[in-house]
C-alpha cells in the first residue's frame, strides 16, 4: 500500500506545489463558504420568521376584528380562506384548555345565555377535538404572558415547520357576549411552511458552491500560470542544461537574472560547470600524457578494471603477443600467454617463487603483474607489464659465450675451465663419481710459428679446436689451457675410458692435415678417484706430469698418471 509521501514524490515539483497550495486554498475557501452559507441560512431563517410573524399577526388581527364586529358566523369562513394560503399549512382556533373551537355548541350556548335570547343557532353535530394538552408548556406560557410564541417543530424527523401560538384577547366589545372574567378568550395556532426558506437556502448553497468552484478554478489557472513562468520553466531550463552537461557538453551556461533561489541555483550551476570544465581539461591533458606514454611505450601494457575485465591493451602488447587488442580483451588476462595457471600464480602470488621470464611467440618475455587498490582497499583493477627481453637474452648469451669461449679456437677458455674444474672436482669428491681429465699440447708448435708464421700457427690451433668440438661428448668440457695447450674434462668417465678417448683423439689429430701440414699432440691423462686429489690444482699438476712424460718418451703419445692395465684401442675409421 502506497503512502501519501511516496505518492507525492511520484509527481513533478510543479504538480506537488499546485496540489499543496490548492489544498490549502481549497480548505480555506471551503471554510469560508461553510461559514458564509451558515450565516446566510440563519439570515434567511430569521427573515422568514419575521415575514411569517407579520403575516400571522395580520391574520390574528383580522380575525379578532371580525369577531369583535359581531360576525362570528363568518369567522369560520375566514379561517378556511386563510388555510388556502400556500405558506400556511394549518390554521386552528383553540380554547384556553387546548381544544379546537367552533366544533361544538358550548360557546354558542354560553353567548345565547349571556344575551338572554337565542342569537346564534346551535350546530346539528358536535365534536370535541383536543389539540394541545392543557398543561402544555407553550400553551401555559402564552396564557400567562399573553404574547405571540413562535416555535420550530420537526415532522416525522425530517422536515421542520414554524408553528405560531397566539393569544386572542377579550376586549370591551367582547364583554357583552363573553363577559369580562378572563383576559384571554382563546388561542390561534398557525403552522407555516419552511419550503420557501429551504428553497432559498438550497439556492444559496448552490450559488456559493458555484462561486467557490469558479474561484477555485480561477485560482488554479492563475496558480498554474504563476508556477509555470516563475518555477517550472526556470527549473526546466536548469534540468535541460544539466542533461546537456551530462551528455558531455561543458561549454553551456544558464542565464541567471534576478535574486531568487532559482537564480542562485543557476549561478551555482554555472560555477560548477566552469570548475568541471577546468577539471575535465586538466584530466584530459593528463590523459593525453598518459595515453602517449602507454601507447608509445616499448613495454607491453595490459590493464583490467575492478571486475578483472581487460579494458586497455597498448600496441606493444599486441605486437609482442601476436594478438589483437580485441582478442586479448575477449580471452581475458588469464590467457595472455595461453597459460591460465601461470598467470593466476603470477597475479595472486605476486610472482613469488615463480619465474618471471617466459618464452612465448618466439620471444623471451618478462612479466610483472600487480593488483591496484584504492584508499578504502577496494580492488580497482590490475596491470600486467610485458617486457620483450629477447634481444637482451641473445646479447646476454652472446656475452656469456664470449666470456667463457676462447676467441681463436671457439672452445672454452681458461676462466671457464677453472670454474668447471672446481665444480666437477667437488662433485666427484662428494658423490665418489669418476672424473677424467685430459691435458695435451701441439708437438713442435714453435716450429710452425717460426717456419710458417703465426697465422699458420693460429690455423693449426683452430683446426684442433674444431676437432675437439666434434670429437668429444656434449657433456664433456673442451678448453684451451693456454698457448698451444688444451684440456678436456670428462664427467663420469673412468681411467680406462679417459685413456681410450684421449688415444682416439690423438690418432684423429695424427691423421689430420692443416694446409698440407701434419700435426701431432702429446697427451697426459688423470682420473678421480684413482688419484687421490684434494684440490683442482693437484689434478692439473698430475696431468701435466703425465704430459711431460709423453714428451720425454718421444711425443705423439698418451701417458696416464695412474697405472692402467693393457688397453685395446679400436682404430679410427678411415
Number of H helices and number of E strands within the chain?
18, 16
Among all chains, which residue has been given the C-alpha cell 676462466? 415
**Is the model's pLDDT at 494 over the cut of 60?**
yes
Write the Ramachandran bin of 83: left for phi over 0, alpha for psi from -120 to 50, otherwise beta: alpha
Half-sphere exposure of 161 (CA within 13 A, CB side): 16
Q: What is the pLDDT of residue 383?
A: 87
- CA dist 277 and 330 (Å) reads 34
Q: What is the pLDDT of residue 559?
A: 95
Mean pLDDT of 522-547: 92
**Is the model's pLDDT at 567 over the cut of 70?**
no
The angle at the Cα of 92, spanning 199 to 139, to the nearest 5 degrees, equals 95
Lowest mean pLDDT among 8-17, 133-142, 308-317: 8-17
Q: What is the pLDDT of residue 116?
A: 64
Q: How many CB atoms lie within 10 A of CB 401?
A: 12
Give tens-digit pLDDT for 432-449. 899 999 999 999 998 888
- CA dist 186 and 306 (Å) reads 108
Kind and range of the H or E run holding 304: strand 300-304
Residues 6+ apart with CB under 8 A from 503: 523, 558, 567, 569
Kind and range of the H or E run holding 523: strand 521-528
CA distances from 489 to 364, 432, 439 (A): 32, 16, 9
Mean pLDDT of 208-212: 79
Q: Which of 501, 451, 507 has its CA nearest to residue 476? A: 501
- CA dist 162 and 160 (Å) reads 7
- Do the strands 521-528 and 558-560 form a parallel or antiparallel pair, or are they unpaired? parallel
Q: How many CB atoms lie within 10 A of CB 453?
A: 11
Mean pLDDT of 216-221: 77
Residue 229 grid coordinates: 513562468
User: Is residue 224 exposed (0-12), middle (13-18) or buried (19+ Cβ within 10 Å)?
Assistant: middle
**Is the model's pLDDT at 60 over the cut of 80?**
no
Which sign does the torsion angle of CA 211, 215, 216, 221 carry? Answer: positive
User: Is residue 238 exposed (0-12), middle (13-18) or buried (19+ Cβ within 10 Å)?
Assistant: middle
Q: What is the pLDDT of residue 1?
A: 44
- CA dist 165 and 190 (Å) reads 7
Contact criterion met (CB below 8 Å) for 543 and 524: yes
Q: Please name every residue paired with 359 in a beta bridge, in sequence order, or none if there are none.
A: 364
Lowest mean pLDDT among 211-220, 309-318, 411-420: 211-220
Q: What is the pLDDT of residue 3?
A: 59
- CA dist 274 and 269 (Å) reads 9
pLDDT band at 119 (very low <50, low <70, confident <90, very high): low
Mean pLDDT of 496-504: 94
Share of the chain above pLDDT 90, in %: 21
Q: What is the pLDDT of residue 271?
A: 80
Mean pLDDT of 11-19: 67
Q: What are phi and psi of 412, to 5 degrees?
A: -60, 150
Q: Which of 156, 210, 212 has its CA nearest to residue 22? A: 212
- CA dist 342 and 346 (Å) reads 6
CA distances from 457 to 442, 452, 484, 569 (A): 10, 7, 9, 30
381 vs 160, more confident: 381
**Is the model's pLDDT at 305 over the cut of 90?**
no
pLDDT band at 574 (very low <50, low <70, confident <90, very high): very low
Mean pLDDT of 413-418: 91
pTM: 0.44
Residue 74 grid coordinates: 363568518
Lowest mean pLDDT among 110-114, 353-357, 455-459: 110-114
Q: What is the pLDDT of residue 511?
A: 93
Mean pLDDT of 162-166: 84
- CA dist 489 and 462 (Å) reads 19
- CA dist 168 and 153 (Å) reads 22
Q: How many CB atoms lie within 10 A of CB 71?
A: 12
**Is the model's pLDDT at 491 over the cut of 90?**
yes
pLDDT band at 210 (very low <50, low <70, confident <90, very high): confident
**Is the model's pLDDT at 326 over the cut of 80?**
yes
pLDDT band at 171 (very low <50, low <70, confident <90, very high): low
Question: Of the spans 256-265, 271-280, 328-337, 370-379, which averages the highest pLDDT?
Answer: 328-337
Please give the CATH topology (third level) of the domain spanning 405-560: Alpha-Beta Plaits (3.30.70)
**Is the model's pLDDT at 519 over the cut of 90?**
yes
pLDDT band at 485 (very low <50, low <70, confident <90, very high): very high
CA distances from 421 to 137, 413, 481 (A): 149, 12, 12
pLDDT band at 198 (very low <50, low <70, confident <90, very high): confident
Which sign does the torsion angle of CA 479, 481, 484, 487 carry? Answer: negative
Give tens-digit pLDDT for 228-263. 766 667 767 777 777 777 776 767 677 766 677 777
Q: What is the pLDDT of residue 71?
A: 63
Mean pLDDT of 322-328: 88
pLDDT band at 484 (very low <50, low <70, confident <90, very high): very high
Mean pLDDT of 116-141: 77
Domains 14-200 and 297-393 equal at CATH topology level: yes
**Is the model's pLDDT at 184 over the cut of 80?**
no
* CATH number of the domain located at residue range(s) 14-200 in this protein: 3.30.450.20
Q: What is the pLDDT of residue 159?
A: 64
Please give the CATH topology (third level) of the domain spanning 297-393: Beta-Lactamase (3.30.450)
Domain boundaries, the chain: 14-200, 250-294, 297-393, 405-560
Q: What mean pLDDT, rounded, does the chain reach?
A: 80
- CA dist 258 and 243 (Å) reads 23
156 vs 332, more confident: 332
Q: What is the pLDDT of residue 157?
A: 65
Contact criterion met (CB below 8 Å) for 300 and 317: yes
Mean pLDDT of 473-478: 93
Mean pLDDT of 11-18: 67
- CA dist 94 and 63 (Å) reads 13
193 vs 409, more confident: 409
Amino acid at each position: 500500500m502506497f503512502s501519501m509521501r511516496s505518492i507525492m514524490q511520484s509527481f513533478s515539483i510543479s504538480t506537488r506545489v499546485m496540489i499543496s497550495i490548492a489544498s490549502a486554498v481549497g480548505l480555506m475557501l471551503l471554510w469560508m463558504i461553510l461559514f458564509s452559507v451558515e450565516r446566510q441560512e440563519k439570515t434567511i431563517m430569521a427573515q422568514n420568521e419575521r415575514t411569517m410573524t407579520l403575516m400571522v399577526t395580520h391574520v390574528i388581527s383580522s380575525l379578532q376584528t371580525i369577531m369583535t364586529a359581531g360576525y362570528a358566523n363568518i369567522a369560520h369562513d375566514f379561517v378556511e380562506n386563510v388555510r388556502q394560503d400556500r405558506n400556511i399549512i394549518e390554521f386552528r382556533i383553540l380554547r384556553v384548555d387546548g381544544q379546537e373551537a367552533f366544533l361544538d355548541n358550548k360557546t354558542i350556548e354560553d353567548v345565547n345565555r349571556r344575551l338572554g335570547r337565542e342569537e346564534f343557532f346551535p350546530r346539528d353535530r358536535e365534536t370535541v377535538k383536543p389539540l394541545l394538552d392543557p398543561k402544555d408548556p407553550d400553551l401555559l406560557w402564552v396564557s400567562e404572558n399573553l404574547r405571540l410564541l413562535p416555535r420550530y417543530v420537526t415532522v416525522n424527523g425530517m422536515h421542520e415547520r414554524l408553528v405560531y401560538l397566539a393569544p386572542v384577547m377579550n376586549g370591551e366589545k367582547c364583554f357583552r357576549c363573553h363577559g369580562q372574567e378572563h383576559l384571554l378568550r382563546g388561542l390561534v395556532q398557525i403552522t407555516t411552511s419552511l419550503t420557501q426558506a429551504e428553497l432559498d437556502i438550497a439556492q444559496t448553497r448552490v450559488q456559493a458552491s458555484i462561486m467557490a468552484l469558479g474561484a477555485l478554478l480561477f485560482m488554479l489557472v492563475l496558480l498554474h500560470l504563476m508556477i509555470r513562468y516563475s518555477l517550472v520553466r526556470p527549473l526546466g531550463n536548469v534540468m535541460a542544461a544539466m542533461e546537456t552537461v551530462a551528455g558531455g557538453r561543458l561549454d553551456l551556461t544558464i542565464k541567471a537574472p534576478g535574486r531568487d533561489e532559482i537564480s542562485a541555483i543557476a549561478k551555482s550551476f554555472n560555477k560548477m560547470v566552469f570548475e568541471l570544465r577546468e577539471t575535465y581539461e586538466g584530466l584530459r591533458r593528463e590523459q593525453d600524457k598518459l595515453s602517449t606514454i602507454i601507447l608509445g611505450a616499448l613495454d607491453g601494457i595490459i590493464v583490467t578494471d575492478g571486475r578483472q575485465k581487460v579494458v586497455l591493451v597498448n600496441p606493444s602488447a599486441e605486437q609482442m603477443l601476436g594478438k589483437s587488442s580485441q582478442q586479448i580483451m575477449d580471452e581475458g588476462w588469464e590467457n595472455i600467454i595461453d597459460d591460465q595457471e601461470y598467470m593466476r600464480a603470477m597475479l595472486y602470488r605476486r610472482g613469488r617463487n615463480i619465474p618471471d621470464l617466459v618464452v612465448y611467440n618466439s620471444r623471451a618475455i618478462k612479466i610483472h603483474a600487480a593488483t591496484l587498490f584504492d584508499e578504502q582497499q577496494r580492488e580497482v583493477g590490475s596491470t600486467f607489464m610485458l617486457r620483450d627481453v629477447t634481444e637482451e637474452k641473445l646479447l646476454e648469451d652472446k656475452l656469456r659465450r664470449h666470456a667463457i669461449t676462447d676467441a681463436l679456437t671457439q672452445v672454452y677458455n681458461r676462466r671457464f675451465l677453472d670454474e668447471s674444474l672446481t665444480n666437477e672436482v667437488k662433485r666427484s669428491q662428494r658423490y665418489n663419481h669418476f672424473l677424467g681429465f685430459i691435458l695435451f699440447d701441439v708437438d713442435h708448435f714453435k716450429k710452425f710459428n717460426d717456419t710458417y708464421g703465426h697465422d699458420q700457427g693460429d690455423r693449426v690451433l683452430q683446426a684442433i679446436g674444431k676437432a675437439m668440438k666434434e670429437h668429444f661428448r656434449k657433456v664433456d668440457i673442451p678448453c684451451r689451457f693456454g698457448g698451444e695447450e688444451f684440456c678436456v674434462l670428462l664427467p663420469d668417465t673412468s681411467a680406462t675410458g679417459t685413456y681410450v678417448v684421449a688415444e682416439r683423439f690423438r690418432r684423429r689429430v695424427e691423421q689430420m692435415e692443416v694446409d698440407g701440414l701434419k700435426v701431432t699432440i702429446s697427451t697426459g691423462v688423470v682420473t678421480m678417484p684413482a688419484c687421490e686429489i684434494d684440490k683442482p690444482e693437484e689434478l692439473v699438476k698430475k696431468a701435466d706430469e703425465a704430459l711431460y712424460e709423453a714428451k720425454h718418451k718421444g711425443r705423439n703419445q698418451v701417458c696416464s698418471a695412474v697405472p692402467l692395465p693393457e688397453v685395446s684401442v679400436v682404430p679410427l675409421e678411415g
